[in-house]
Amino acid sequence: MKARLASVTRPKTLAMGVAVAISLAFGAAAAAAAAAAATDYPAVTYERLTSAQSDPGWLTYYRTYNGQAHSQLKQIDTANVSGLKQVWSYKFPANLKQGFEATPIINGRFMFVTTPKDNVYAFDAVTGKQLWKYEPNLGAESFKTACCDVVNRGVALYGKNVYVAMLSGDVVALDAQTGAVVWKKQMFEPGLGYAFSLAPLALDGALVVGSSGGEYGARGFIAALSPDNGSVLWKRFTVPAAGEKYADTWPKGMQDHGGAPAWLTGTYDAASKTLYWGVGNPGPWLADLRPDDNLYSDSLLALDPKTGDLKWHYQYTRHDTWDYDGVNTPVLATIKYKDKDYDAIIHADRNGFFHAIDRTTGKLIYATPFVTASSVTGYSADGAPIQDESKYPKAGTTIETCPSFLGGKNWWSVSYDPERHLAFVPSLHACMSLSGKSVNYMEGLPYLGEGFEIKPEPGSKGYGELQAIDVNTGKKVWSHWTKLPWNGGVATTAGGLAFSGSLDGHLYAFDEATGKVLWQSPKLASGIIAQPSVFEVDGKEYVAILTGYGGANPIWGGPMAKAAEKVPVGGTLYVFALNHA
């Protein structure tokens, strides 16, 4: 493999000549400010991460370990949000035309974002000044087995470092102040089936990542690395090997290429010391080739974060043939269902059901459909999915079902407001036909065994819906429909606001209680498929969002891609605040 050199770039400073003479006072002040910023980078400790709910920044992918994507900030509220104005923006290089899916991560005045192809940028969160950028300059082999665009969803912070997991299989630690590489660990060779697209999760002395590659038969795994040097602390495969428990839920010999990737960031309960992580689809797609339940595909795993040992599992979809990955965020919530209190996981699954699961035992509390669902039709009293056998294609046959393989909700982050007991769910209304085909595993090539065609959901008002769900009942409280898919994640605040963006190029602020649109941004440079973040610096509250249409929809969306074909591409970072001229 040809070696490629990464580059770290920091803005040039005035050094000599007439410019220095003219700007001496300004240059001295700027140098002093830069030096102060460099020494003031606040270390991100495990203690800060466990109390991130009270932190003014956005320290981790979902803001807090519990996955709620909810901020206690309330300077911007339902009464004044109409006054939100742009503070600054940054346009990324024009050659980056793929999807911008990262959540801006903020620690003090430092903001970190990633771009397609795994570049990392650092900015002053208040002024928008670029502090540094890291460009790994990945080779083409790193993009070969990235199924759904060459995306990256963001960084993790721990100590004085920034961590990024890359399509190439590398996990890299960067100095947060300079962008210099501290260490690099390669977890797999690129181009053979695996990739990383998720934001790592920093725990107490561990950095957790999960693999992509289900469409290529890459056997999924979750691993913890040392944040000090990248050494592997533990690694757990999501498909049991021969002789392990539940290996008999696979035909003999198929476990090695069983997929079940773990490609989205999990959540963590610091009180019980439990790591929750979702697992994706089995391979190949055509279930007729792999009888039985195929554990732990389409499941939620509760793990010991120190060892990776399994505490319990819950399988959302058994013997999946519809690509209903179970990776969507497992959000920690306290709910009251039928007069009984639960410490729960709430989860909007690709299969179209909104779940509440007892996070201590792994038992299902309830599951209610939030889009039209005809593959999985319900759940039994013991929590097992009830699935329509007529919706399984065989080689040479075609079925039609809902939702599509992109799911009733894909990876886009939900947000949960614990005071209002509402979950805000970006939902997708589409169905599909699936046609079975014979397939054999070949390393580095798609391993599907099915052809597909996406179709509109009969009777829906559009492809996109942002809906609020009462987690105590599983019932919808309000919804906001759009003709285009709603692929943007959600962030909520104590100010009663739900922020989310759409492919139409606007960031919206909704009244959490009613769903009324209280503010929308001017039309931005592209559509939104990322999650906003909300943060405060020096007593002032800000909202940040990346725009940049891409991801799965333009590749696999069929009529949804056609509907969005005029959405511009290219990435821009925007920051908004009140009282800004």
For residue 38, which of 59, 67, 13 has the smallest C-alpha distance?
Answer: 13
Residues 331, 300 contacting (CB under 8 angstroms): no
| 210: β partners | 222
Which of 55, 170, 298, 323 is catalytic? The answer is 323
Residues 6 or more apart whose Cβ sits within 8 Å of residue 311: 274, 302, 303, 304, 362
For residue 62, which of 166, 220, 202 has the smallest C-alpha distance?
Answer: 202
Separation between Cα atoms, residue 283 and residue 255, nearest integer Å: 9
Residues 567, 557 contacting (CB under 8 angstroms): no
Residue 575, H or E segment: strand 572-577
The C-alpha angle with vertex 538 and arms to 532 and 543, in degrees rounded to 5, equals 15
Separation between Cα atoms, residue 359 and residue 276, nearest integer Å: 9
Rounded to whole angstroms, the maximal C-alpha distance in the chain is 80
Task: Note if 323 is an active site residue.
Answer: yes
For residue 282, which of 247, 318, 314 has the smallest C-alpha distance?
Answer: 318
Sign of the alpha-carbon torsion through 526, 532, 537, 539: positive
Burial of residue 67 (CB within 10 Å: 0-12, 13-18, 19+) is buried
For residue 63, which of 105, 31, 25, 99 has the smallest C-alpha distance?
Answer: 105
Length of the chain: 581
Strand order in the sheet with 299-303: 267-269, 274-278, 299-303, 310-315
For residue 246, which of 312, 328, 321, 324 has the smallest C-alpha distance?
Answer: 312
The C-alpha angle with vertex 402 and arms to 329 and 407, in degrees rounded to 5, equals 20
User: What stretches of 153-304 adopt beta strand conformation (E)?
Assistant: 156-158, 161-165, 170-175, 181-186, 201-203, 206-210, 221-225, 232-237, 267-269, 274-278, 299-303
User: Residue 411 carries which DSSP code?
Assistant: S
Place of tokens 């429909």: 481
Q: What's the Rg (C-alpha) of the chain?
A: 23
Name the token pair of 505: 């190029």
Name the token pair of 56: 């003014």
Catalytic sites, residue numbers: 323
